[in-house]
Structure 1
């Protein structure tokens, strides 16, 4: 395997490309640099929120927090402030909570260079991994999401349908099928011109966990990313997926905490 980039350098590149350098990626989506904030605004079923912030004082942070609340609530939108552990000021999370945000569970930002991953072509017995290309496949992804995470998947369903209709080259969705029954699902976001491909929503229904379905979905997406010229994968890992990702070669970079204003996203 080739030598991998140091974690600090990967984190700095991630900040530049996926946060500061974020781009609109769907119909009706706008990415704006407003003062020392980068925010994404789109339809209500999309992800809306603050991608990056870099404040020089506590007063500047408080003013920006109030401005973002005003921006999104004027449009009737819930939104997320995606806080990373290295963001300044150090008490930004406390300031968000004081302003009415709710902190959701921490996740670990992990990344890996595709060429350095310990991937195999092995797929669990009885499983096949297939692409999602139509509304029926989107419905199956939503079914897996609800069974794997216990969340309502109506927003995800609309997001994937939008992507298939308008920007099919920027989102890859896949299913793991046992026969014709969906037991795992995942997606990958591909920003044109970027180094990073983002892995999202990887989930397995409870009765199929521990059999290698999640690893097969990682490997499948990694091969697609490499074929399309993306050299680094990144993922916000839950405690359940973090050990699997580490064994595959992913490195923890930092902790990220979603702070939500309004109904949960």
Structure 2
């Protein structure tokens, strides 16, 4: 990793990253509170916890908003290193730890290795049209237990992804002509202008009956190549400790910290 991308800067880039699904309700102050749409399970999630306010105040306001939205739970993503007081507060109120991700990063100024030889049955393609986006959605529906896109959502997603100024990249892996894995990248400004662009890698998943055959690694390699070609200086990913983090470490990513997801019943 280059000296410019020191651990505090990597963690700052991770803290600036919050996923807001299309069609979500979102309130951004010194934190981000999002009500996901029904197709994405409708949960209310608190992220971006770089607030200088007391944890009690942050949580109180988030709980009030979640209740006003009609939710009986609140999800909270907490950086294990930067918000220990909030973690203690959540646990004292009965919140349950439901997920843990490692914050992983890899510099992209170095040359990337060529992908391993494949038998020709596994092919990775960048999404460049509505048909490719529909294939990605088929995978996402199976992997993430979400509702498939209807025509309106598909058209809106295509307009965003395929626009000339899009900051998003999607790829799909096909095995024997069938879509088996998908993944995305969002190119975002780095915490300091001289560092250029960060490639935020997200949403990688393989349909259950095609796992363990190289599709995950294939979509990872393609995203790294495309991100480097777009000028990104860092690839950043939040990998689940129980699944992808191990694979990402083997692919050259370094661990910088972890984030935990707690669910609080209101």
Q: Which residue of 2 aligns with 1:258?
A: 261
Q: Which residue of 2 aligns with 1:143?
A: 138
The SS at the match of 1:141 is helix
Instruction: Using structure 1 for the length normalisation, give the TM-score.
Output: 0.76
Aligned residues: 251
Q: Which residue of 1 aligns with 2:37?
A: 44
Give unpaired runs (5+ residues) of structure 2.
Answer: 191-195
Measure the CA separation in 2 of the matches of 1:101 and 1:95.
9
Q: Deviations over 1:64-91 (max 9, x none)?
A: 1011121233234665321111123x24
CA contact (8 A) 1:10 1:111 kept: no
Q: How do 1:125-164 residues align onto structure 2 when only pairs under 5 Å count?
A: 125=119, 126-147=121-142, 149=143, 151-154=144-147, 162-164=156-158
Q: Which residue of 2 aligns with 1:197?
A: 199
| Alignment partner of 1:68 is 2:62 | yes
Alpha-carbon distance change, 102 to 187 in structure 1, aligned in 2, over 3 angstroms: same
Q: Which residue of 2 aligns with 1:165?
A: 159
Measure the CA separation in 1 of the matches of 2:86 and 2:225.
38
What is the root-mean-square deviation of aligned Cα atoms in Å?
3.6
Measure the CA separation in 2 of the matches of 1:229 and 1:29.
32
Measure the CA separation in 2 of the matches of 1:5 and 1:29.
38
Q: Which residue of 2 aligns with 1:233?
A: 235
Q: Which residue of 2 aligns with 1:187?
A: 184
Measure the CA separation in 2 of the matches of 1:156 and 1:100.
35
Instruction: Using structure 2 for the length normalisation, give the TM-score.
Output: 0.76
The SS at the match of 2:232 is coil
Give unpaired runs (5+ residues) of structure 1.
Answer: none
